[in-house]
Chains A and B, each alone.
Chain A
Amino acid sequence: MKSTLNHIIIALVALAASYSPFASADDLVVTIVEPYIDFRTGPASEYPIFHVAEQGEKITVVKKKTGWYKAISIDGKEGWVSAEQLGKTLKPNGEVLYVPTGTFEDYGNRNFELSVFGGVLENVTSMTVATSWNWTGNLVAEATYTQALGDFSENKLWSVRLQHHTFPEWKLSPYLTIGAGQISTRPRSNLVQSGDEERKSDLYEVGGGLRYYIARNVTVKLEYRRIAALTDRDDQERLEEFRLGFAVFF
C-alpha cells in the first residue's frame, strides 16, 4: 500500500517535473573521441570533477540543465558534462553531436526570445516584458506588456508589434518597430475622490532599437518608441518611451 502511494507520488512528481516525458523513452548514447570527458558533481563549472570518462567510452546523456548535461558512464557513474565537451562526441551514426552553446549563429536560428526592460515613459519609471517570435530573420513578431506606475496615475500598456531587422547578421543591429495595442490609465486614488476612473484607449506605436549580442544566449537591447493613444477626448495623447533591457533566446 505504502509503495503504491510512493509510486503515485513519484509518478505525479515526475509528471509535473518533466517537461517532455517522451524524451526519456529513448536515450542519447555518444562515443568519446577526445582523450577524456570530465564528470562533475553538479551542473556548473565550480563543481568538482569526480570522474573522468576516457576516449572510446560510450556515455548516455539523460538530461540538460542550462549548459550542462547529465550523463551516465558505462560503469554507472552519473555526473554533469559541459556542453563544450559534449559537442566533441560522436553519435551512433558516426556524426559529431551538435550541441548548441548559444553562439551568435544559434541566435540567428532562434525561435523565441524573452526580453525584460527598464525605462522611462513620460518621466515615469517603466517596466516591460516582451516575448518575440523569429519569423523570417528579418521580421520578428512581438507581444509586449509595460507598466508605468507614477505619482499621478497608473499606466498599463500592451501591444503587438512587428520588428524589422535590416541587417540581422550584424552583432550590433538596428531595427524598426510598428505596432498596435491598448493603454489603460487610472489616476491615483488620493487624487480622485470618486475612486476608480480607469480609462482604456487604443494605441499605435512606431519606434526603433539597437540589439547587441553579448555572449551565450544573451543580447542587450536599447529601444525608443512613440505612442499615439486614441483617447475619446478631442485630442490624441502622445507618449514617448526609452528603455534598456536584455533578452534571452531559445
Chain B
Amino acid sequence: MKKISILILWLFLWVSLGWTRVYINIDAPGQERMPIAISTFISKGDPQLGLRAQTILKKDLDYTGLFSILSPETFLEEKPTLEVDFKKWQLIGAYLLIKGKTEVKNDLVYLELVLYDVRKGLQLLGKRYKGTPRDIRYMVHKFADAMMEVLTGEPGIFQTKIAFVYASKTRKEIYLADFDGYHPRALTRFRSICLSPKWHPKGDKLLFTSYKRGKPDVYLVDLKQRKAIRLIHYPGLNIAPAWSPTGDKIAVTLSKTGKQGIYLVDNKGKIIKSLVLSSGINVSPAWSPDGGKLAFVSDRSGSPQIYVLDLSSNRIERLTFEGHYNTSPAWSPKGDFIVYSGLKDGHFQLFMIKSDGSIIKQLTYNNTNHESPSWSPDGHFIVFSQDGKICILRLGDGEIFPIVDLPGKQTQPSWSPRLNK
C-alpha cells in the first residue's frame, strides 16, 4: 500500500513537472502571445554581426506567431550586458528574455545566446556556437529550434527547406529555399519541364517528374552528391511520386498498360505491385505517416475527388463529398488530418478534413487560388502556392504570408523534414 502511494506521488510529481516544462501549448486554441524581450546583443569585433543575429532571431520568433516581441524603447537596461536584473524585465511585462553576444576571433564567429524565464528568474537555455560569418543565420536558427523545444516540447522548423517549381517562359525547374524563403536557388538546370518535387523522409534526396527525355519520367536527385538519375521510366506517364514514410518505397502514377494506375515501386524504380488500377484517372498519392494508408485523387465518380486506400485490407473509400473538384491531398505529420485543394465559388481553397472524413474545415477564403499544400514537419504550418506565389499558412491563427521573393510563377511547394546538421 505504501509502495503504491509513493508510486502515485512520484507519478503526480512527474506529471506536474511535465506540465510546468511546457511553456506554450501550441495546440490549445486562442492562446495569447507570450511577451518576450530580446535585449540588444553585445557585438565584439564586427558591430553589425550582433544586429544581424538579433534581426534573424526576431524574424524566426515572428514566424511562429507565438510571441509578442516587446519594443526596445521600454527597456530599462542602459547598455547591453550579459548580466540579468530580472526586476527590470518584469516591470515591462516580459515573460521571457533573450540575451546574446557575438564575437569575431581569427575570422571565426562566436555566438552566445541565453533564454531566461523572467518571472521565475531562471535560465532556461544557454548555447554557444562557432562558425564562419556566413553561418550566423544557421546558428540562430539552431538556437531558435532548441528554444522551441524547451518552450513547447517539440523543436521548431527553423532548419527546414522548401522545394518548389520555378516557371520561366519556356521551362520549369526545381528550386530550393529556406523555410522562410531565404536564398532561393536552382536545384536543377534541365532546360525542360520539371514538376512535383517530393522530399525523402531523411531529407537528403528529392524525387520529381521531368520531360528531360521527351516524356514525363521520375528523376531522383541526391543532394549531397548533387547527382540526378532517371529512376522511373516505364512507357507512358511516370508522374506524381511520393516516398513512403520509411523512405524505401515509392508510390507513383504509371500508365504503362494504357490504364492509369498507382503503383508501388522500390528505391531502384522496379515495380513491386499495383495499388490502384481501376479505370479512370488515379493520381497524387499521399502516404499516411504510419505508412498504412494512401490518399489519392480519382475521377471515378465523374469529377476529381479524394479517396483513401487502406494498404492492409486493400479497401478504397471516398473521403470528400463536398465540392466538384478536389485535388492535391497531403497527410498531416500526426496523421489526424488531410489537407487538400478544392474548387469553391470559382477559386481553389484549402480545406482540412479529418482522415475519417468526420470534420471539414475551410482554411483559406480570399478570391485567389490556393493550391498544392504541403505540411511543415511539426504540423503547425502549411506551405502552398497562391496564384503562382509560395505562401505559408499558420494554422494557429490563420495568418497567410508570402515567403519567396522571385519574379514569375512558383508552384508545387514541398516542405522538407527537419534537416539538423
Indicate whether A and B interact: no
**Which B residues are closer than 8 A to A by beta carbons?**
none
